[in-house]
Structures are given as C-alpha cells and as structure tokens.
Amino acid sequence: MGELLEGDDGLPAEDVGQWAKEKQELLCRYVDISRGVRARFIGPLKAGATYIDLFCGPGRSKVRNGPFIDGSCVAAWRKSVEVGSPFTHVYIADIDEVRLGAATERLRKLGAPVVPMLGPASETVQQIVRRLEPAGLHFAFIDPFSLGALDFNIFKTLALRKRMDVLVHLSKMDLQRNLDENLSSKASAFDAFAPGWKSAIDVEQAQRGIRTEIVNHWRDLVSQLGIDASAEMKLLKGSQNQHLYWLLLLANHQLAHKFWKYAANPERQGEFF
C-alpha cells in the first residue's frame, strides 16, 4: 500500500508511481471495449452487470511529481457511465477502513450503486459472490499490494459465477525480489498464491526457470477452475524501466480474451472495430 495523503477533494488519497496511470488506462480500455456486451445485461428485467474491486484503495491517487488521478474503482465507474453502459452494481472491498471509506464516499458522490465490504479479500469475495445474480455479467479487478495477498481461494470463489471476467495484477517484482525467501520459508507466499507449487516445480534450476514454472503452475490451477488465463500478459514498468507487474485476463469466453488483447494493445484497436 502507498502512503496516504490529503487528496485534492479533501478525502484521503494514495501516493503512487507513474505506472498507476497506465494501469488505469488499461482498465478503462477494457471497460470501454466491453461496453456492448455489458449493455445487453442492463435494463428492466435484466440480470445486471457488476464491477468488483477487492483491493479498492481510497479511490484517488497522487502520482509522484505528477497529478491526482482516479483510483481503479472510481475510474472504472466513470468510464462505464461515459460509454453509456454503467455497471448496475459496484462492490468494493479493502482491508483498510480509511481507504474503503474514502472510496465509498467518492463513488456515492458520483451516483454509483456502491456496496462496500471491509476485510481481507479472501473473505470479502465470498460475501460478494453470494450476492451476485448467477445470470448476470461480472467483471472483477484484482489489484493486490503484494503477491502474498493474491490468495488462490479468491479465484476459486469468483469462478463460481459463470460470466466472470477477472483482470489480475500479478507482481513480477515481488516474484523476483522475494524468490529466495519464498522458496526457503515455512510460510511462503507461494502457498496461498499457487497451492501445490512445491511438487510442481524444480527448485534446483536457475531462478528465471523457477519463476516461470511458478507462474505456469498458477495458470494451470486457474485453468482447472474452468477459466483461462490470457496469453496476453501486459508488462508494466517503472520510471527506471524496471519490471513491476503483469496485467492479464481470466475468462471462460474467447470474446473476453479478444477484448483484452485489443485493450492491452491500443495501437491495434482499429483492427477490432
């Protein structure tokens, strides 16, 4: 989590790096490009279209040496309204009460149908999924502050709903920086992230190979849930060109993967339309 500071609207905001702007742009592109499908679920007697953000933060950020920008939940809601297919339900969650309260207030001021949930993502996701209309269209953004927070049970729970697309932040930096510690620790972050990893990978090989096998094992686990991880893994970099994390999509429908492919490569969007 970034440090909290006073936002330009008087509510708490989070200190973030330049990469956060690109992340929000990618999120909003997906919300935009999927607007037509979402519109089919909106209206009287329709099942609805839901946005879920399990690590919502305060809903507003200050880019270091840059401007204030919307957080993910606020940016996604604004974009859905802008393109004429607003989400019918917005579920947000965070383990921090101050952050959750700020995001909730910002969304309510914008007229969003927001429902906040306080607690760790592995618990709040269960509360949220129980409330979801089984026949609805659902889109979850999973943007954790560390790899260790990416409990695989989150995906097991989300996969209980048939029409569930999940955009995931997968920390490459965390995977690299803490690899030795996670390989040797009795309480490894890998245990929650990729259950069964110890019997699935060769820990005697070079670190790059270990990291690759950890991610591939996680992708295989996701596939066993009946959803596929996209081949398109968008790498986001820091101001010093350091590799920070990937964004990738989990979905059981090929159209969703096609949407993400073009959202992640905006220079090719003209080919889609």
Q: Indicate yes or no: pTM above 0.85.
A: yes
Yes or no: say if 246 and 240 are a contact pair by the CB < 8 Å rule.
no
Is 203 domain-assigned? no
Interval 1-13: pLDDT, tens? 779 999 999 999 9
Q: How confident is the model at residue 267 (pLDDT cuts 50, 70, 90)?
A: low
Coil vs helix vs strand at 68: strand
Instruction: Please tell me the distance from the alpha carbon of residue 222 to that of residue 238, in angstroms, as a whole number.
Output: 28
> Quick one: tokens of 196?
């069964």
CA distance 60 to 127: 25
- Is residue 178 in some structural domain? no
Q: Is position 215 within any domain?
A: no
Looking at the domain assignment, is residue 53 inside a domain?
A: yes
In a domain, 164, yes or no: yes
Residue 165 maps to which CATH number? 3.40.50.150
- The model's pLDDT over 62-85, given as tens digits with 9 standing for 90+, comes to 999 899 999 999 999 999 999 999
Structure tokens that stand for 82 in this block: 């802008």
**Residue 95: inside a domain, yes or no?**
yes
What is the domain range of residue 230? Answer: 4-173+226-264
Number of domains comprising the chain: 1
